[in-house]
């Protein structure tokens, strides 16, 4: 039982150290580091919880006082609660970055649609080149072509 309790104490110390690093990791703002911090917090707390249950079972088996076991459990629960708060802090940071990224995407889409609408309005208000040339063509007169008939002689063939 002492070996398991000692391992649990080591894990609790690791948890305290990891909790202490959370603010620095968040301030650095590197996504990969933050994801790793989140993973570390979760794995250590899961391991502590597993070890706690083992030690608790051994304490019950050794017929220790229930009040002592409950006090011991409350201390560990308090440390796990601190870790849970850090996990929430990290998750909030991740969620905030996702919202910011979505806001940027939406802003870019809005800019695109605004530009598209401006271009469509510009196209609708500008005169079409075909319409402008049609008006000038109506005023121009073309020469009449006179085509004479071929009379069938060899001498008239080159002209025809």
Task: Indicate whether 152 belongs to any domain.
Answer: no
Cβ neighbours of 134 (radius 10 Å): 10
Q: What is the pLDDT of residue 75?
A: 94
Cβ neighbours of residue 34 closer than 8 Å, sequence gap 6 or more: 25, 26, 90, 93, 94
Average pLDDT over every residue of 87-93: 94
Residue 35 belongs to domain spanning: 2-125
Average pLDDT over every residue of 135-157: 76
> Residue 17: pLDDT above 80?
yes
Task: Indicate whether 71 belongs to any domain.
Answer: yes
Q: What is the pLDDT of residue 134?
A: 52
pTM reported for the whole predicted model = 0.66
Task: Indicate whether 143 belongs to any domain.
Answer: no
- Given a contact cutoff of 8 angstroms between Cβ atoms, the answer to whether 87 and 41 are in contact is yes
**Number of separate domains in the chain:** 1
In which residue are the tokens 């017929």 written? 63
Task: Indicate whether 87 belongs to any domain.
Answer: yes
Task: Indicate whether 101 belongs to any domain.
Answer: yes
Average pLDDT over every residue of 123-132: 69
Cβ neighbours of residue 55 closer than 8 Å, sequence gap 6 or more: 1, 4, 5, 8
Task: Indicate whether 82 belongs to any domain.
Answer: yes
Task: Indicate whether 160 belongs to any domain.
Answer: no
The pLDDT tens digits of the residues spanning 43-61 come to 999 999 999 999 999 989 9
Q: What is the pLDDT of residue 153?
A: 83
User: At 33, which CATH number?
Assistant: 1.10.132
Mean per-residue pLDDT of the chain: 88
Average pLDDT over every residue of 67-81: 93
Task: Indicate whether 156 belongs to any domain.
Answer: no
């Amino acid at each position: 039982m002492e070996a398991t309790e000692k391992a649990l104490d080591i894990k609790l110390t690791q948890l305290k150290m990891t909790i202490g690093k959370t603010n620095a990791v968040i301030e650095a703002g590197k996504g990969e580091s933050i994801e790793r911090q989140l993973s570390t917090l979760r794995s250590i707390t899961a391991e502590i919880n597993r070890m706690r249950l083992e030690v608790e079972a051994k304490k019950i088996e050794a017929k220790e006082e229930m009040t002592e076991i409950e006090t011991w459990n409350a201390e560990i629960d308090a440390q796990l609660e601190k870790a849970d708060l850090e996990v929430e802090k990290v998750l909030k940071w991740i969620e905030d970055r996702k919202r910011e990224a979505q806001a940027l995407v939406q802003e870019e889409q809005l800019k695109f649609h605004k530009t598209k609408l401006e271009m469509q309005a510009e196209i609708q208000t500008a005169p079409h080149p075909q319409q402008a040339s049609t008006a000038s063509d109506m005023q121009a007169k073309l020469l009449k072509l006179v085509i004479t008939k071929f009379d069938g002689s060899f001498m008239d063939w080159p002209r025809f």
